[in-house]
Structure 1
Amino acid sequence: MKPIRYNGINHLAMVTRDMDATIRFWRDLLGMPLVVAMGRPGYRHYFFSISGTDAIAFFEWPDAAPVDEKDHGVPVRGPVVFDHVSFSLEGADDLWELKARLEAAGFWASEVIDHGFIWSLYSFDPNGIPIEFSYPLPDVDVRRRPRLVDPHPSAVTLEGPDPVGHVWPHPGTPIPEDEKRVYPGEGEKLKDPRALWKR
């Protein structure tokens, strides 16, 4: 199969009951620019830029129930699909800068933890979303040199770090060019030059 070329997480889609509090936290406290603000009565969908290729987005659903606080990485019983999200940082000093900002603003921030390949700081956003900030240690590049330290790996794990091509059916004939259609969505409004913020 032809390899798929990923270049990051385009966006994570989260939920907020209060977009203004979310903007204050993500844009103003964490410093992530608000790059898309779209909506209509009863609906908002806003995107904050993490890096040149990655973003985090929020749907504002005022009737959503608040979540119970869930500690990062601690197992739970019952329905669950998400634990936490980690944001990569350029430098180790960014961890302490974020810790100082979060604590000054009244948010809980953990100590900095050494995970062997990253140093991490943990917190929660105003929506109760568990977040982590991670500084990748330059001398332990797990993407170039993956590590296996699980003492009881499954047989599938033991197949190695690289994709195994024979486990899924081959897609066969590529989709013909005349069948590749893109349908309009909410973002059509973004093409209007009047939509630009003045900087």
Structure 2
Amino acid sequence: MAKYYGIHHLAMATGDMDATIRFWRDLLGMRLVAGLGKPGYRHYFFEISPGHHIAFFEWPGVEPVPERDHGQPAAGPVVFDHVSFGVGCEDDLWDLRDRIEAAGSWVSEVIDHGFIHSIYSFDPNGIPIEFSCRVEEEDPAHIPRMVDSSPSSVTREGPGPVAGKWPAVVRPTPPDEREIFPGEGRELVSGQRKDWWRNP
């Protein structure tokens, strides 16, 4: 089975990349590490931590979503509730809370969830965001726990992958048949387009 090391990037949408840069880079302190684009389209990446990013597509006509409380039940087509960013310590959580509040944006009080302490806010696109600091001695990654009062039978099977629930791979792709097709991000490394930060 594949070994996962985290989320390489989350891809969001914005109608105002400049406001998005001001919030994610300048207020939250996440470096803007890559930018692709042309008139009418941009795709920018902000570094959360090494190897982990949040990216934004800028498309004409995209409007901020209405703010909705994190974790509030919803109906109809829904694929996303909020994204939580881990921070290193309690001081980081308080620093972020103070910075967001000083910027005139709404930010919650610090909430104790038992295994994490969190604050909640929204970015300029209405995206619900959370910042969480682990309570080390209560981290469920050390000893997974399921306290749902009515878990499904699939949930009761345990925290690890259950073998035999999906068809087995009959013929793995041999190395000599593994073809990789060029994608849009190649322009970041090809040198065919002007790099505005290296050659202004």
TM-score range, shorter chain: over 0.9
Q: In 1, are the aligned partners of 2:45 and 2:55 still within 8 Å (CA)? A: yes
SS in 1 for 2:136: coil
Structure 2 residue corresponding to 1:85, chosen from 65, 83, 86:
83
Counterpart amino acid of 1:126?
A: P
User: Partner residue of 1:111?
Assistant: 109
The 5 A counterparts of 1:177-196 are 177-193=175-191, 195=195
Residue 168 of structure 1 corresponds to 166
How many Å separate the matches in 1 of 2:44 and 2:77?
27
For structure 1, list consecutive stretches of 5 or more residues without a partner in the other structure.
Answer: none
**Matched pairs, number:** 197
Change (3 A) 1:197 1:21: same
Cα distance in 1 between the residues matched to 2:196 and 2:181: 23
TM-score (norm 1): 0.95
For the 8 Å contact 1:189–1:195, the answer to whether it is kept is: no
Work out which of the residue numbers 54, 61, 64 in structure 1 matches 2:62: 64
CA contact (8 A) 2:115 2:138 kept: yes
Q: Cα 1:25–1:145, aligned 2, differ >3 Å: closer, same or farther?
A: same
User: Once superposed, what is the RMSD of the aligned Cα atoms?
Assistant: 1.5
Q: Give 3-state SS (helix, strand or coil) of 1:76's partner.
A: coil
Per-residue deviation, residues 48-77 of structure 1 (Å, max 9, x unmatched): 000112100000012123312111000012
Partner of 1:147: 145
Q: Which amino acid in the other structure matches residue 139 of structure 2?
A: D
When the two structures are superposed, what TM-score results if normalisation uses the length of structure 2? Answer: 0.94
> Identity of aligned pairs, percent?
61
Provide, for residues 8-53 of structure 1, a one-character-per-residue CA deviation record: whole Å limited to 9, x for no partner: 1000000001000000000000000000011112110000000112
**How far 1:80 sits from its partner (Å)?**
0.9
State the distance in 2 between where 1:4 and 1:196 align. 37
Aligned pair partner of 2:3 in 5, 14, 18? 5
Q: 1:138 — aligned with what?
A: 136
Structure 1: distance between partners of 2:160 and 2:50: 26
1:117 positional shift: 0.7
Moved over 2 A (4+): 192-198
Contact 1:99 1:109 in 2 (8 A): yes
* Cα pair 2:8 2:52 within 8 Å, conserved: yes
Number of the residue aligned with 1:120 = 118
Q: Which amino acid aligns with 2:197?
A: W
Partner of 1:24: 22
In 1, Cα distance between the equivalents of 2:82 and 2:93?
17
